[in-house]
Amino acid sequence: MKKTDIIICGGGLVGLPLGLAAAQGGLSVVVVDTLAQRQQLEAAFDGRVSALAYASVRMLTALGVWPHLEKHAQPIREILVTDGKADGPASPFSLHFDSQEVGAPSLGHIAENRYIRAALYAALPPNLILIAPATVTRLETTASGVIAHLSTGETIEAALAVAADGRDSRLRAAQGIGVIGWSYPQTGIVATVAHERPHHGVAYEHFLPSGPFAILPMTPASSSEAVGHNKTDRSSLVWTEKTDKAPAMLALNEADFNAEVARRFGPHLGATRVVGGRWSYPLRFHLARDFVRPRFALAGDCAHGVHPIAGQGLNLGLKDAAALAETLLDAARLGRDLGALDTLKRYERWRRFDSFALAASTDALNRLFSNDIAPLRHLRDLGLGIVDAIGPARRFFMRHAGGDVGKLPRLLKGEAA
């Protein structure tokens, strides 16, 4: 039987940063993931990108991950938020965020998930063992720790088990932790779009009746990948469509799908063309009733799932990883039991309210903007105009989008955990 301080079930974009932070602080860590590393790095595996708030970039820098990722991360210089219809002009009211206004080089970065994973793998320290592909089939809780039984036949003893294995976590259910949640009548469609004109680091969020339509700037394609007009400029499309219409959109032939994308993009980036695959994801909201049990904790999507309307899903999970790592390392330095419930309750108090607040706000925004009800449309347009006209309010929202509000863990300040 192997022994370790922490076993993390799930080696994704939250589980690995948590493991890195704990290992760099001197704890021994085992991370178990269901998929092989090579599979997760393939372009066809996951077409999504993630928005990394500048506080998250500070965290990745402190963990030694950012040097491996920076060249694949596109800075967000500006964000433009508009309201309108797919086949009509945008509202005259809009909200404009500019990084120069807050004296920052960027408001965050956009990076492909596969490159984030590759950077995390490149930064793994020797006291972190990654076992993949494998699953934790059963957790056995004892008075002094947990025993994890793996699909490989191995058993691992640890002081604490952390579930970071996604929204449908079997380990969360096995611990009897319920969730509050619901499905949205929306599906997220994701694709990469090559375009004729440069994006200049501007991210666009168009609120359409079916849901938000986001155009997120990406790093240029390599010259060998250049398509259409011999250009390498490209952006990630995150298209929220009504669930009953999404299958028909996804089934369109290439020309018709490109026409639907162009109709929603508008002319500002010139001619557009979808390159690579199309992916779709059901959109759901959930919040775990508890984040911890004795010898057990939740992090990332196991604990909460939010609407992608504000692009904060990964940043919320990274806050979990930073707060849990800090809680555990502080306990270890004081000689306390890592898996004791009073140790873990500090983490739960720290993260549960913030998670609820963000989940509730993204849910409310989606309900407010994903409709074509005239009184609500006038109200939200007025709100966009008011916020855009008030400098302090605009700068507060920029700091909020950057993850730089509230009680921040040390990693999110750019310090060691």
Distance CA 114, CA 49 (A): 8
Is residue 326 one of the residues assigned to a domain?
yes
382 within some domain = no
In which residue are the tokens 């604990």 written? Answer: 303
Cα–Cα distance measured from residue 277 to residue 108, given in angstroms and rounded to the nearest whole number:
26
Q: What is the pLDDT of residues 58-84, one digit of tens each?
A: 999 999 999 999 999 999 999 999 887
Q: What does the pLDDT read at residue 247? A: 96
Mean pLDDT of 234-255: 95
Smallest CA-to-CA distance from 16 within 118, 112, 110 is with 118
For residue 162, pLDDT beyond 60: yes
Q: Which domain holds residue 52?
A: 2-74+111-182+285-371
Average pLDDT, stretch 243-266? Answer: 93
Q: Judging by DSSP bridges, how do beta strands 202-208 and 78-83 pair with one another? A: parallel
Question: What CATH number does residue 138 fall under?
Answer: 3.50.50.60
Q: What is the pLDDT of residues 203-218, one digit of tens each?
A: 999 888 899 999 999 9
Q: Report the alpha-carbon distance of residue 321 to residue 160 in Å, rounded.
A: 14
First to last CA, the chain: 29
Does 302 reside within a domain?
yes
Distance CA 150, CA 155 (A): 6
Residue-averaged pLDDT of the chain? 92
| pLDDT beyond 80 at 90 | no
pTM of the model: 0.93
Peptide bond into 133 cis (omega under 30): yes
Q: Express each pLDDT in 274-330 by its tens digit.
A: 998 999 999 999 999 999 999 999 999 999 999 998 889 999 999 999 999 999 999
Low-confidence winner among 28-37, 213-222, 385-394 (lowest mean pLDDT): 385-394
Tally the domains of the chain: 1
Is 313 a domain residue? yes
Question: Is residue 91 predicted with pLDDT exceeding 80?
Answer: no
Query: Which of 302, 301, 285, 284 minimizes the C-alpha distance to 293?
Result: 302
Residue 24 covered by a domain: yes
Q: Is residue 388 part of a domain?
A: no
Q: Is residue 147 part of a domain?
A: yes
Residue 376 belongs to a domain: no
- The proportion of the chain whose per-residue pLDDT surpasses 70, expressed as a percent, equals 96
